[in-house]
Amino acid sequence: MVWLSPWGDVAKSHPWRNIIVHQTEGPAGSARYGAQEQHKNPTRRGVMVWVETDGTVYWAVGDDLVPTHGDGGNRNDNKYIDNRPTYRQVVGNNSIGVEFAGNYPDVTRGPTEAQIAAWRVLVKLLRARYGIPLERVYAHNWIDFKDARYCEGCALATMAREWGE
């Protein structure tokens, strides 16, 4: 873990309720750059945590701040999951965003083995620290309209739910 912004007192952190898994179409190496830019301007469009293709995790924003990673919760078609409980409810200001970099130029390419290994630890850590139940780990495409070419974050969110406690 590379701490660009250290954790604060969990009692003073934002009241996080969900985790949204994102995938960026940047090349390998772009997570570091994205995290550094997010750290400089925490409330810009982006996420709190970035994961590089080699599995390095960058904690870019203090957990008391809210990056604007989700316009959120506007999928109401039940295409991937039942959207009744998420429609306009799972949004950026109540969800920790985790961005996995490196699926450029093929947006359908999944995460690397190193990213999956990092995610296995990271999702447990986030859930434990913020009291987020397993069923509140979402792929971006499950809750928000995105890109018809692929399901952003679906493989990673599904893995997290399958791993269980």
Q: Which helix (H) or strand (E) holds 3?
A: strand 2-3
Residue 72 confidence (pLDDT) above 70:
no
Of the candidates 51, 33, 23, 28, the residue with the CA atom closest to the CA atom of residue 108: 23
The amino acid at 14: H
Q: Residue 140 — very low, low, confident or very high, per pLDDT cuts 50/70/90? A: very high
Calculated CA dihedral for residues 53, 57, 62, 68, nearest 10 degrees = 20
Interval 129-157 mean pLDDT = 92
> Which candidate, 66, 59, 69, places its Cα nearest to that of 31?
59
pLDDT tens for 25-66 read 888 889 999 999 999 999 888 899 999 999 999 999 999 999
pTM of the model: 0.95
pLDDT confidence of residue 146: 81
Task: Say whether 73 sits in a helix, a strand or coil.
Answer: coil
Contacts of 13 (CB under 8 A, 6+ apart): 7, 63, 64, 130
Nearest-angstrom CA–CA distance, 65 and 76: 28
Q: Superfamily for 2-163?
A: Peptidoglycan recognition protein-like (3.40.80.10)
Max Cα-Cα span within the chain: 41
pLDDT in tens, 73-131: 789 999 999 999 999 999 988 999 999 998 888 888 889 999 999 999 999 999 999 99
Residues in contact with 47: Cβ distance below 8 Å, sequence separation at least 6, in sequence order: 22, 38, 60, 61, 67, 69, 96, 97, 98, 99
The partner residues of 23 in beta bridges, in order of sequence, read 100
